[in-house]
Structure formats: C-alpha cells, structure tokens
A and B are shown apart, each in its own frame.
Chain A
C-alpha cells in the first residue's frame, strides 16, 4: 500500500508515492533523485546518510519517510548559497581538502552544520566531539576539523551564518567578538593543521 509523502527538500517541495517501508534515505535517493545522502551502514553508525529534518540531524536510513511526512529536509547540497555557489562549510571543505573519496562528506557537512547552527564558535575538541557520529576512512579527520574550524571563522568574520540552519540563532553570534582574523584562518594547512592530521580520532 503506497502513501503519498510530501517533503520540502532544500527548499523545493516534492511529493512522491512510496511504500510504508521506504526509509527517508531511499525516498530521497530513489524517488526524489536527491543523491547526496549516501547509504553506508544502515545502522546509524557511519553518518553518511545524515540530513537535517526540521533542523535536527538524523540518520535518514533510520527514519521512515512516512514518519516525517510534511517536514523540511536539508541535505549537504542545501548548504549552498541561494545563487548556487558554495556555502561557507562547503567552501572550507573544498579549500582544506576535507574530502578524499567523498563518501562521508555529505554527512560530515550536515554534522558540521548541525553543530554550528547556534552560531557559538566551537573549539577543535568540540568539533571533534560533534563529528564523532560520522566515520571517515580516508582523511584521518584532521582536514575535516580544520575545515569546520575555518568555516566558522570565515562566517563570523563576514557576519554571515556558517549554514542556513544557523539563521534563527545567529543574532547572538554576530554580536560576539570577532573570532577569525585573516592570519588565523590562513594558519591551518601549516604545522598545527598537519600535526592534527596524524592524530585520528
């Protein structure tokens, strides 16, 4: 018995009829052609399928599409600027070489967006803790932590949120002290960044 499920995905309203057993991930990938969330483990461990459902991070493989009918979904692609150019997190991942094979990247971006949504700058330790539900088998995590750190610095410097999910709470952060200087942001591919790269998790 199929059910018509309507979701707003990255601002676009999509209706598709699906079996009640369809997970959100399968609905997105197979019916809505939204393929940036990936199927990794199917157990909620790897985080490759992470999306925001009404701004809450979820494993889309562990939610039935029918359960969240009517919700707003943000995938990694939805973190882009309205004009389609890269958003602050996406750009920082690119600049810091935070993706190698790229399979974990959509989930890493979502975890980063969820973690930084309140606009409060996170320490490196907090960033690592915030990423602990997302597995990467290429990078050793260092460049990903660098990217999240850099993204929040650039965003705060420019007075814009790291992700659109941050919009609601950003008022406080924008008024806070200026966290990134150009020099600080440029530091990361050097000694400090390189050292952390070998540290794993």
Chain B
C-alpha cells in the first residue's frame, strides 16, 4: 500500500512502449493487466521508476486462424482466451489451461503476453506453449524476431526478451485430426499456483500411440518438455501407456513451504499419467 512513487506513461501502440523502454532504461516496467507486476510492486519487491501502460494500446488484440496455426495478440486477456469460440475450437488445450488461472478478476485483466513475459515456472500459459511448440513474435519497435517457446523461457522469471522488447503475438499449432489433449494441474486450493502441472497432446491410430507431446510445469525453473516420455509412448496401446511411464526424469523440483521436492516429483508423475490417459481417450474418440 505504501508504494514508492513512480511516473506513469501510457502508449497507444505496443511499439511505442519499446521506445520508452529505451529512453527510461532499467527502472522502466511495462504494465498491461498488472496481475503479475502490481502484486510485486505492492509487496515492495519491484520498485519501478516509470511504468509504461500498454493496456489501452489499439493493437495486439486479434485472434486469427490460418494454415493450421492460431495467432493471438499479446493483449488478449485470459478471460477471452478461455471463452473465445475460435480459439476453443482451434486448440482446446489453450482454453482448458487458461480457465485454471487465478480467479475471475485475474483472468479479466491478465494478458497472454504478460503471463509469458513474466515467465513464472508454475504458470499455465508458458507450459501450454512449450507443450504445443508455439512461437512468439518479439519486437523492439524497429525489428521483429521469432523465438520458440522452449528457447524463450530461460529460468525463474527470466526470458529471452531484450530490455527494449515486447512479446507482440503468439503462434501455435491448431489441434490436428486424430489428436487428443489434456491439461492437469494440482494446487492446494482453487486458483493457487500449481504445485505441478502437465500438458499432453497425443495422436493415436488403430488403437496405438503414433506420436505425443508431453510437458510439465511447476517442477523446474521453467516448463520442461519430456522427450523420454514422448519416446516410450510410441506404439503403446491405451492400457499400456501408464506402465511405460516411470519416474519423471529431467525435472528439478524445489522444496518450499507448499510442498517438498519429492512430493512435487511424485505429483508430476501422477499428473503426467492422468493427462496421458485423458488425451489418449480423447484421441480415440476423435479418430
């Protein structure tokens, strides 16, 4: 409540924020929905000198589908992602994960670009993007570049964004024919941060898994794709899947007041198996 004063600037276009970031340097922070930044400011953990408001920018709000990809602008809110008919049809995994974010107030203001740029290792959207193999368009207002989700989320609250760059939009593959999906997470109470979460996409044909994509969140410093699990899935029937998944490798869960590292690792395995079962079921129904 006793926030150190800062200066407020508003921009009408996303790219204008990049110029202000260059002008103001390190003390400048970008705000959109503010659902990640303002808790940190209220707790005194972040003390910006300038806050650049992009929440009323005229761009960055489109959701479009073309050539097997769904593209969503950085300012699309979680509430919209959760209910948008086009997004829901094109890639249902996205809406399922988004509906688990925080509470109605967080979803009403929080934005896609904001969640990705904040890069909380337990957040739903970065996990979904890594599972889907999504790509982000970043811009500094002069040049744009594409970065894969897996290369963007580096570690706790740290991304590949340069100091004058913003996430402009996200491009992710739509759900292809025969694919099933599942998003599973466990938190101690509704809307709380996930202790562990799993996002799975599976394609089956003739009752066996042809290919799958598996990623987990909340159990490392960033979302992790589980290549080992994806490999052992291949050729499994629905009843064989769970037996092929051993203890999850390649994760580094931490112990904190919410859960021990061992418990998080255990949860991770449980959620992966649950997600695989649900996704393979959906794939069988889709075939």
Contacts and interface: CB of A to CB of B under 8 A. Distances in A.
Main secondary structure on chain A at its contact with chain B? mixed
A133 B53 CA distance: 25
Interface in A57-74: 57-59, 61-64, 66-67
Nearest to A3: B8
Interface residues of A, number: 31
B206 interface: no
Nearest to A57: B105
A64 B4 CA distance: 13
A21 B3 contact: yes
A124 B8 CA distance: 43
A67 B55 CA distance: 7
Given A57-B104, A132-B190, A43 B43 contact: yes
B38 A23 contact: yes
A67 B103 contact: no
Task: Report, as a range, how many residues of chain B touch the other chain.
Answer: 20 to 34
Contacts of A201: 189-190
Nearest to A107: B105
B109 A58 contact: yes
A60 B212 CA distance: 42
Given A39-B1, A47-B103, A130-B104, A63 B109 contact: yes
Interface string A14-58: 000001110100100000000000010011100100100000111
Nearest to A130: B104
Given A19-B5, A42-B43, A44-B103, 6 more contacts: A21-B41, A23-B42, A44-B35, A57-B105, A58-B109, A133-B106
Interface of B: 1, 3-8, 10, 31, 34-35, 38-39, 41-43, 51, 53, 55-56, 102-106, 108-109, 189-191
Interface of A: 1, 3, 19-21, 23, 26, 39, 42-44, 47, 50, 56-59, 61-64, 66-67, 111, 114-115, 129-130, 132-133, 201
